[in-house]
Structure 1
Amino acid sequence: MGVIDTLLSVTLTRPLATLFGLSSGLILAHCVYRLYLHPLSHIPGPILAKLTSLWLWYHSYIGDEASVIHAQHAKYGPLLRVSPNEVDISDHEAIPAIYVIKGGFLKADCYSNFDIDGHKTIFSTTDVDYRAPRAKAVVPLFSTKNIRENETALYGCVDRMVERMKSEKQARGVVDVLNLSRSLAVDAVSTHLFQENYNGTSEKSSKLSASAFVDAFVAVGRFFYLPNWMFTWLEWGLEKCMPDEHTNASMAAVDRFVDDLVEKTPTRGALNYPGRLMELGFLERSEVKVQCKDLIFAGTDSTGMNLATLCRQLALHPDKHEALRAELLANEQAGTQKQEIQTLPYLSAVVKEGLRISMANPTRLPHVVPAGGWTFRGTHFPAGTLVGCSAYELHFNSTIFPNPLSFEPERWLDATPEAQRSFFAFGAGSRSCIAKNLATTELYMATARLTLSNVLKGARVGQQEVEIYEWFNSSVKGEKIELIWDGPVESS
């Protein structure tokens, strides 16, 4: 009997065994290809990561992706293969090519998992032609000039937050600064961009009404790297099988605010965020509402985390709080020589160090190598490879930032060029955070007013460590960052 006849006989008599053998052979061949023959096979990384994206999906889901990848970089070096077709780079010299020069590389398809209600957003879209007119319409609202013209309203939001902190401190001796910072953030975003205050700092409940809405979008980051079709089915299944009344109520509250805002905004002549989008003339109101909801989420979450981190660090370091307060008081007493707060060196150092250590957005920002490929430090990446950098990796690089986990504002008073180039809190280039000017202004204003009020004096932290889920937007385990004042609470 010939070989062909033998194989045919085995196939017919033992089909399951044959199928198993063929499948095993194909899997083995695929593994050999990915380990030894793939165009990225020369780039080091964990064997499982080279073989399958499941390694990355798993660590993304459980929320330790950034720290696990950080440990792998210590083992393998600055180039790390984190999935069969994806490389993480822990070198700030890669930032210009990936994110800045000529607009940088295009965003990876997985960003579309952050689409909302079936609509792309200015953040989530990978389509340059879709984003360009929408971003151009609203970018003027984020200019330094526009923000400065609205300083009085923004300071009003800050002052209400400071008064609420004083009130909660006096009444209970405990303040959840994460909730309070989120409340300020949503008020500042809505006041400046919508010309209508959400009034989060005036809410009487212990949790901001928009918090569960924000947390639901944060949780999307667990599945950030999934193919969009898989993410869509998974999201649908979770909504059907695991409904959450608290989250639904929070989403309904935000929907009511946005619906009312957009419906009463005229299609012509309004200078707020939805008005500028409707001036384009080709956007449905449903999409305008989605863009507004996306802004509420992003502006509330990241700035809330950053400010809460600053409050916590100033409580942990009373000497730095006093040094900052001395600078601010001297500036207040300078009369005609008084400076803009964003020019004050120690305040600037405190804010920047808070942003470095906060980890509001710790994970990678993957982009796609364009046609023709890309060569970085002698290593060639073929077209279609996903490459990216992360704030966690860059900000906790001990070579550039000695004692990287320590809050040391002084490191920014005479920062090295490498430190400046490694700062990645808002991303980089044309696709960096569109609201970074507004977010930074909020942090300066709030940090200055909180410090001048002396409300943080005598505070101790409620948690020795703030643990986070390292998703695209970090999530604080326990959903609170508390400051506590022991004994009788003096008025500030």
Structure 2
Amino acid sequence: MAETTVISFVKAYTGYIILGLLLLRFLGNRFRRGLSGIPGPKLASYTALWKLYSVWKGDHHNTEIHLHRKYGPLVRIGPNHVSVGDPKAIPMIYGLNKGFTKTAFYPIQCISWNKQPQMNLFSSRDEQYHRDQKKSVANAYSMTSLLDLEPAVDSCTEIFLSQLHRFADSKTPVDLGMWMQYYAFDVVGEFTFSKKLGFLQEGRDVDDMIKAIEGMLVYASLCGQVPELHPFLLGNPLFPILMPSMETWNQVLQFTLKAVNSRASLQRDGELEEGHKDGGKDMLSRWMAIHEKDPEKLSTRDVIVHLSTNVFAGSDTTAIAMRAILYLLLRHPEKMAKVRDEIDRADREGKLSNFISYRESLTDLPYVGAVIKEAMRLHPSVGLILERHVPKQGVTLCGKHIPGGTVVGINAWVIHHDANVFPDPDSFIPERWIESSEERLKIMEQSYFVFGSGSRTCIGKNISLMEMYKVIPQLLREFDITLHNPKEGWKTRNVWFVQQEGLICDLVPRRR
């Protein structure tokens, strides 16, 4: 009888019980030890739904800038999440051997292959794995190694310019932002496989790779706010078993496998060009050589993962930076004029090759370098905090003790728009990188967070820098570029990477 009464009670009051448990959970979140005194949006302290909604809107980077200007260097953006806006915290959070580890946000961005999630240098939370893998592949990303492949970059530039001349000759507006992404894809293809991916030649999204990457970024940015849902969504371990075709959805992985298989087939048939056999300089050749010498050091799985990560991460971020550089110059004609004058002067003095080399740009075009740096400061490619777990003993950040286990991180958009570091932070002022005092320049450099910091600094940063330093001055030497609809601004959307659209331009060839 008593048992029946209890069951009846539970049935009658289930809704109230659930509501009560949720209320307790929300209150527990709100008054979490060590975090309840950190300011931020009230709702954010109760539930991760505030952060999820903010990211879903696609403008979270600007929201965080506003919050830090309102509340100061520490802002609570989730029940257990704190956004840090003090550049002095960079070496504390991201420095070597500081004990801050990556969070569950990152493994969501790994590939699935052979029915298993395959971690890469970016997604792995295992520091030992990261060290071992980075040691094996890092040399391929050094500027010295990349300069060996500079002629391959020039071959991409040649096709790029040829395609743009078609638009210029027919006086047809061109989506220069999209073509920059095509360019970035083909350059990554040359560095990775000694093979263009076909974007420039065909003038389209080959194998829907751009579309696939966009879908992956949207999923990662949203699910990354509530990563505990990932095992029930695309991270469900039953999915690859129940739907074996699921792995074919990843066009980047499929292209990588196709490229590797093609290279292996040519090698077996003896048709591979001499430079691509032993001692090839592209990443596939370098890493396969390591694999053949010591398969345990770099397995087939490792090679596939590193190659596909290159294609996934190397195109979007670089294209975003190049769009920002060009758009900001087009919006500031006086800066564009200074860039043109510098390029033309160096050209007249015979300092520039037919295809401007990386070294020439670095040495003879200092204002171009300042423009590139300033554009990436104003519009970093990554638009969310780079999350880390506070070590168990806790840490003091900005004068406040943060308990162990708290998720903290820095958003490049926040510190790059800090007036204490970058006076007049919302303005495009390339001169700040040339005319500032040594002391100010040192502070700005230490606060520059475009490629992250510490051992997890973006391993592909040299690829991006080489592309930008070469192609931007080349474009501006070749064409007069104007916005097709100057009264319309571009549109941006933060899906982990802050993507842009609307860079529609008119091109007029310049006389040289």
If the TM-score is normalised by the length of the shorter chain, which range does it land in? 0.7 to 0.9
Q: Distance in 1 between matches of 2:213 and 2:13?
A: 51
Tell me the amino acid that sits aligned with residue 482 of structure 1: I
Quote the Cα distance in structure 1 between the aligned partners of 2:477 and 2:506.
Answer: 19
Alignment of 1:215-254 (within 5 A): 215-228=214-227, 230-235=229-234, 252=251
Does residue 395 (structure 1) correspond to residue 412 (structure 2)? The answer is: no
Give the TM-score taking structure 2 as reference length.
0.83
> Does structure 1 conserve the Cα–Cα contact (< 8 Å) formed by 2:48 and 2:226?
no
Contact 1:183 / 1:208 at 8 angstroms: preserved in 2?
Answer: no
Instruction: Give, as a single letter, the amino acid of the residue that structure 1 aligns with 2:477.
Output: L
CA distance 1:254–1:170, change in 2 (3 Å): farther
| Alpha-carbon shift at residue 449 of structure 1 (Å) | 0.6
Q: After superposing the two structures, state which structure 1 stretch, 387-396 or 414-423, moved more.
A: 414-423
Deviation digits for residues 257-297 of structure 1, max 9, x if unmatched? 54233552579865532344442413553553333222111
Question: Which residue does 2:165 correspond to in 1?
Answer: 166
**Aligned letter for 1:475?**
Q
Report how far residue 125 of structure 1 moved. Answer: 0.8
1:91 and 1:9 map into 2 onto residues whose CA distance is 59
**CA offsets 1:419-464 (integer angstroms, 9 cap, x no match):** 22222111111101101112111101011111211x1344445672
User: Which amino acid counterpart does residue 107 of structure 1 have in structure 2?
Assistant: K
2:111 counterpart SS class: coil
The 5 Å alignment of 1:128-277 reads 128-205=127-204, 209-228=208-227, 230-235=229-234, 252=251, 255-256=254-255, 258-262=257-261, 264-265=263-264, 271-277=281-287
C-alpha deviations, 1:22-44, integer Å up to 9, x for none?
44444343333333352211211
Supply the AA of the counterpart residue of 2:450: A
CA drift of 1:357 comes to: 2.2
Partners of 1:151 and 1:394 in 2: CA distance: 33
Q: CA deviation at 1:253?
A: 7.7
Q: Give the C-alpha shift of residue 346 in structure 1.
A: 0.4
Question: Structure 1's 8 and 81: CA in aligned 2 closer, same or farther, altered over 3 A?
Answer: farther
Q: Which residue type is aligned with residue 411 of structure 1?
A: R
Kindly state the Cα deviation for residue 185 of structure 1 after the two structures are TM-superposed: 0.8
Contact 1:112 1:228 in 2 (8 A): no
**Which residue among 459, 477, 480 is the counterpart of 1:434?**
459
1:366 Cα deviation after fit? 0.5
Q: Secondary structure at the match of 1:331?
A: helix
Q: 1:109 to 1:374 in 2, by over 3 A?
A: same
Q: Identity percentage over the alignment?
A: 26
Report SS of the residue matched to 2:472. helix
Q: What is the alpha-carbon distance in structure 2 between the residues aligned to residue 262 and residue 126 of structure 1?
A: 30
2:445 pairs with one of 420, 426, 435: 420
Residues in 1 aligned to 2:225 and 2:333: alpha-carbon distance in whole angstroms: 44
Are the counterparts in 1 of residues 223 and 229 from structure 2 also a CA contact under 8 Å? no
Structure 1 residue aligned with 2:428, among 404, 407, 431?
Answer: 407
> 1:481 is matched with which residue: 503, 508, 511?
503
> AA paired with 2:444?
A
Judge which range, 220-229 or 359-368, deviates more. 220-229
Greater shift after overlay, 78-87 or 9-18? 9-18
Rate the CA distance shift 1:322–1:23 in 2: closer, same or farther, 3 A. same
Partner of 1:243: none
Return 178-187 or 151-160, whichever deviates more: 151-160
Question: Alpha-carbon deviation of 1:18?
Answer: 4.3
TM-score for both structures, normalised by structure 1: 0.86
Residues 36-80 of structure 1 show CA distances to partners (whole Å, capped at 9, x for unaligned) of 352211211222111111111222223222222222222221101
Is contact 2:168–2:509 with CA below 8 Å preserved after alignment?
A: no
Query: Does 1:464 find its partner at 2:488?
Result: yes
Aligned residue type for 2:166: S
Relative to structure 2, which stretch is displaced further, 14-23 or 155-164?
A: 14-23
Secondary structure at the residue paired with 1:469?
strand
Query: Match of 2:311?
Result: 296
* Partner Cα separation in structure 2 for residue 14 and residue 387 of structure 1: 43
- Quote the Cα distance in structure 2 between the aligned partners of 1:208 and 1:341: 34
Report deviation, 1:220.
2.6
Q: Distance between the aligned counterparts of 2:351 and 2:304, measured in 1?
A: 45
Q: Return 466-475 or 429-438, whichever deviates more.
A: 466-475
Equivalent residue of 2:233, what SS? helix
Q: How does 1:73-88 map to 2 (within 5 A)?
A: 73-88=68-83
Ranges in structure 1 where 5+ consecutive residues have no aligned partner:
1-6, 241-246
Between the two proteins, the alignment pairs up a number of residues equal to: 473
Provide the C-alpha distance between the structure 2 equivalents of 1:177 and 1:39, rounded to a whole number of angstroms: 49
How many angstroms apart in 2 are the aligned matches of 1:445 and 1:399?
32
Partners of 1:200 and 1:104 in 2: how far apart?
Answer: 42
Q: Report the Cα distance in structure 1 between the residues aligned to 2:25 and 2:252, rounded to whole angstroms.
A: 50
CA contact 1:306–1:360 (8 Å) conserved in 2 = yes
Comparing 89-98 and 419-428, the one that deviates more: 419-428
1:307 aligns with 2:322: yes
Which residue does the alignment assign to 2:356? none
CA distance in 2, matches of 1:302, 1:293: 15
Question: Structure 1 pair 32/308, CA: closer, same or farther in 2 (3 Å)?
Answer: closer
Deviations 1:306-361 (A, max 9, x none): 11222222222232222112212222344579973113320111110121123321
For the structure 1 residues 461 and 155, does the alpha-carbon distance in structure 2 shift closer, same or farther, using more than 3 Å as the test? farther
Query: Structure 1 residue aligned with 2:371, among 347, 350, 368?
Result: 350
1:94-149 Cα distance to aligned partner (Å, 9 max, x none):
11111123366211121001011121111111111222222222211221212223
Partners of 1:312 and 1:483 within 8 A in 2 = no
| CA gap 1:268/1:345 in 2 versus in 1, 3 angstroms | closer
Contact 1:461 1:484 in 2 (8 A): no
Contact 1:103 1:430 in 2 (8 A): no
Partner Cα distance (1:45, 1:414) in 2: 37
Q: State the SS of the aligned residue for 1:107.
A: coil
**Structure 1 residues 257 and 174: CA distance shift in structure 2, 3 A:** farther
2:390 touches 2:402 (CA, 8 Å); kept in 1? yes
Pick one of 332, 354, 361 that aligns with 2:347.
Answer: 332
Answer yes or no: is the 8 Å Cα contact 1:110–1:228 preserved in 2: yes
1:385 partner letter = T
> C-alpha separation between the residues in 1 aligned to 2:99 and 2:167?
46
